[in-house]
Structure 1
Amino acid sequence: MRRSAALRPSRADLVVKKLSTSANHSMIWFTAAAVLATIPGRGRRAALRGLVAIAGASFTANALGKQVFPRRRPAADLVPVARRLTRRPTSSSFPSGHAASAAAFTTAVAMESPVAAAFVAPVAAAVAYSRVHTGVHWPSDVACGAAIGVGLGLLTRRWWPLGVGQPAESDAPVHAAVLQDGEGLTIVANPNSGPDDTDPAVQIKAAWPKASVIRIDDLSGQDLSEARALGAAGGDGTVAAVAAAAADAELPLAVVPAGTLNHFARDIGVESLEQTRIATENGAGIGIGLGSVSVDGDEPVIFLNTASLGGYPDLVLLRDKHAKRLGKWPAGAYALVRILHEAEPLTVTINGRRQTVWMVFVGNNPYLPKGFAPATRHRLDSGLLDVRFIRADIPFSRTRFVLAALAGALHRSHTYRQLDLPSFTVRVHGRPVAIATDGEVRAEGTVFTFASRPTALTVYR
């Protein structure tokens, strides 16, 4: 403190004072997050992770740390008058909330966008030092606050793994048919997909003048013998139906994201019709795996993303309903608590073991995180199914599950099971139940046979 106070007065003193006050209530970081949020992809993810990290660091430093460790702030007369803040804080000096928020935001941004962090880090370091320079914190307050911020920034990965929103990988690059102007491409469009029920046929014909466009209702009777590739314009349900037809006909699939959520399109890294058009003209594709489920021995149904039994379909619908108003993760937590409260347990036999469960989730390829809010896939060709279920045969199982999920400790919970399997069977004891695949409710049954089909489909990317 004395060495800092002994520095010669300069114009920098005023800049440091303004910088220090601009970080009050993390306003400087909220502004930085707003700027980052205008950049799609990494920028937006960095902004969101940074805000989550700030919330955790601010609560830990201010609501907990300052209450547990009361400490006097440095005496005002230790620093020159010109450096002193107009309004000196009166709370405990230890730890520094400003340093905690600055370090948390920088750490979170660095994990998503190192380039953005290169601009944020010097400002964060200056904010942390400004608390010593203006005489409101001891250096140890700042050091400990920064450590808290770094820790909370890294801790966000426990609930929100890195790579969410990034395209999944595949070790099976494929040279697919080259389609100049869409020649040989049959695109199946669903005019009822999307938030505004907008028919994408006009944009499709502009991108692929020689392509033929049919409605989803006409797919079953369509002659595909002359087609060189199939396209799907719609949501995940539409894409799944067309993918099944493409896999049976051994044709590559072109995906046009025209649904509301477009989970599969995001996972393969397709965000626009233009990206798919370029891939079809270059013949660039990858091989991906598909999941399948047979109900009571009937013909298997293909799923691209997920299948589920029990209350999980209702959980997804309720989460998506409130996601825009509450945010995805709060909406997911609300939906989880509500559905678990209303759900009825199922008695099932999974791979020969009988148990009672609240719901069963099956993902095509392993999802992350390994809790009950799967968000992203890192691979599309693993040949494995991601199997998760919540046990109902343990006292207070729902309460214990929710607490473990909020604490990020599901991997230690006795109520939760997660397995990666190439195939398995679920036998339901009691009345038949419906299965949902890719958000669509399917037939009811009592015996569900799941299997993974590695690299069963070529997708343009």
Structure 2
Amino acid sequence: MWKAVDRLDRGLVQRSALFPASRADPAWKALTRLADHSKLWCATASVFALRKGPARRGAVRGLAAVAATSAVTNLLAKPTFPRRRPATYLLSPRRRLADPPRSSSFPSGHAASAAAFTTAVAMESPVLGVLVAPVAAGVAYSRVHVGAHWPSDVATGALLGAAVGLATQRWWPVRPAKPGVARPSEAVCRIDDGDGLALLVNPLSGAAGHDPLPAVADQWPKAALLRPNPEKDLGEQLDTMLGTRGDGIRALGVAGGDGTVGTAAAVAAERGLPLVVVPTGTLNHFARDVGVHTAEQAARALTEGTAVHVDLGTVEVDGGPPRWFVNTAGIGGYPDVVRLRQRWEPRLGKWPAAVLALVRVLARARPLRMRLDGTEVLMWGMFVGSGGFEPKGFTPSWRPRLDDGILDVRYVRADLHWSRTRFVLSVLSGTLARSRTYVQQDREVLDVRLLCEPQPLACDGEVRLHGRTFRFVARDEALRVYRPRDATGRLA
């Protein structure tokens, strides 16, 4: 078989050598040099990362796939399968590289990285994947054109890269394009120009220096706008505004991130008002789960008067009044990560600050002893999600249903030897769902009593109260949220 492959390779290279010289030869050499050390894919990812959403996720996934592919190719495949490079004397001098590579020819690392990046990007954004694919194919062919690789090296490298790109799903599952399923609401008011809409706009959400207020004001000119005072409680300001407006408010809107959305959702649920979400935050988890990705979609849902019923969660701290959360709440390591991220974010940016905060918390964390519904446990930290999140054996990322009436409870045990190390290894190997250190449960009500000093509570990415007792409750269909119909006219 190897002899047959070798004969085919030599025949194809000899045919390629017969191509007449053309103006494309310098372009192929320039393209193959540009792809050296994945410079081309790093530059492309930098451009994609400028835009939020699938483009940015594709950039991150693509770079991760390239890094993994380079490690597999250079550290494993090339030393294991040494192969001599093609004889460059067959090619004209204008096609040869001035400094040809001297490592093993099999497989092509350039083709592997190109296929890995393209596959990973296409998983997040098929449109961007189609745009990148011709460039990746050009890089792969350029390696044969300049005599750096045999055709089978390129084919094998491309298959290897595509496999690694697809394998990133094991560590980072791809979020479904469809929103979470929820029961449609029977009666929600229709609003065209903002008449009857109270709209909370947080200028501090999302990208620094970008104020969404002008665009929102143009979209709904008759809406009652509230630009909050950062020195005062946001919920109290919203309650005061609604109390002043009286019965003229028929719906509540919010333009901001998940923390702002959580405050507005609490007020809307307590007052029985439908909520429209305008995603202007950094991550917009709740808006994406609901199926509202742009201000135009929010406006269309208001005009159509279409909405769905959504569950919320509440938590009572030390017997105090219930506090609502739309996405997640956490005790232990999660609030610490949020607090450090907020402190470092102005200097480092949101993502670098979040990564450094996570590393520091993991290194310095102390286990928490507590009782969960009367059962004593020792853990590093606990996550509580409003609704069942997916995937179960990974970082909770999305909700397939918005009205399942449950709390998604997850924590990492601290009563096992080397529990943190075992947890990290299971995450890296993609076996977290089967790890003894990781516990996931579905509850309707959860009572937590700390057997140590009071701990902070984080709700929807913001650190709030400290306490020793926490009662979490799933509030079934507590809120109506506007959602536009899809292309087929269906709501859910």
CA distance in 1 between counterparts of 2:131 and 2:117 reads 12
Aligned residues: 460
Residues 42-84 of structure 1: per-residue CA shift (max 9 Å, x gap): 3333333222211211222124433344332233335555543
- After TM superposition, the structure 1 stretch with the greater mean CA deviation from structure 2, 323-332 or 442-451, is 323-332
**Aligned position for 1:383:** 405
Determine if contact 1:170/1:288 at 8 Å carries over to the other structure: no
Q: Compute the displacement of 1:393 (Å).
A: 0.8
SS in 2 for 1:241: helix
**Aligned position for 2:369:** 347
Are positions 1:24 and 2:43 aligned together? no
Are positions 1:106 and 2:118 aligned together? yes
The one-letter code of the counterpart of 1:168 is P
Match of 2:237 among 218, 223, 227: 218
**Aligned position for 2:271:** 249
Residues 190-245 of structure 1: per-residue CA shift (max 9 Å, x gap): 57766769886665554434333455433445435443112234443332232122
Match of 1:357 among 365, 370, 379: 379
The one-letter code of the counterpart of 1:172 is R
Residue correspondence of structure 1 range 27-426 to structure 2 within 5 A: 27-34=39-46, 36-37=48-49, 41-79=53-91, 81=93, 83-163=95-175, 168-174=179-185, 176-189=188-201, 204-214=216-226, 216=234, 217-221=236-240, 222-223=242-243, 225-257=247-279, 262-270=284-292, 273-319=295-341, 332-370=354-392, 373-426=395-448
CA distance in 2 between counterparts of 1:250 and 1:90 reads 71
Residues 5-34 of structure 1: per-residue CA shift (max 9 Å, x gap): 332322467254444333222333344445
Q: 1:418 to 1:204 in 2, by over 3 A?
A: same
Match of 1:9 among 19, 30, 48: 19
CA distance in 2 between counterparts of 1:338 and 1:285 reads 42
Q: Compute the displacement of 1:347 (Å).
A: 1.3
CA distance in 1 between counterparts of 2:75 and 2:303 reads 57
Determine if contact 2:379/2:415 at 8 Å carries over to the other structure: yes
CA distance in 2 between counterparts of 1:194 and 1:250 reads 28
Determine if contact 1:285/1:459 at 8 Å carries over to the other structure: yes
CA distance in 1 between counterparts of 2:390 and 2:466 reads 29
Determine if contact 1:312/1:359 at 8 Å carries over to the other structure: yes
Identity of matched residues, %:
51
Residues 246-303 of structure 1: per-residue CA shift (max 9 Å, x gap): 1222210122445565443444344555543343223232322111223344442211
Q: Compute the displacement of 1:428 (Å).
A: 2.1
- After TM superposition, the structure 1 stretch with the greater mean CA deviation from structure 2, 228-237 or 77-86, is 77-86
Q: Compute the displacement of 1:312 (Å).
A: 1.1
Give the structure-1-normalised TM-score.
0.86
Determine if contact 2:338/2:462 at 8 Å carries over to the other structure: no
Q: Compute the displacement of 1:162 (Å).
A: 1.1
CA distance in 2 between counterparts of 1:443 and 1:83 reads 68
**Aligned position for 1:446:** 468
- After TM superposition, the structure 1 stretch with the greater mean CA deviation from structure 2, 221-230 or 176-185, is 221-230
Q: 1:4 to 1:393 in 2, by over 3 A?
A: same
RMSD: 3.3
Give the structure-2-normalised TM-score.
0.81
- After TM superposition, the structure 1 stretch with the greater mean CA deviation from structure 2, 231-240 or 188-197, is 188-197
The one-letter code of the counterpart of 1:6 is Q
Q: 1:325 to 1:200 in 2, by over 3 A?
A: closer
The one-letter code of the counterpart of 2:237 is D
Q: 1:48 to 1:446 in 2, by over 3 A?
A: closer
Q: Compute the displacement of 1:415 (Å).
A: 1.6
Determine if contact 2:194/2:222 at 8 Å carries over to the other structure: yes
Question: Is there any run of 5+ residues in structure 1 with no aligned partner, and where?
Answer: none
CA distance in 1 between counterparts of 2:204 and 2:160 reads 49
SS in 1 for 2:450: strand
The one-letter code of the counterpart of 1:311 is G
Q: 1:190 to 1:5 in 2, by over 3 A?
A: closer
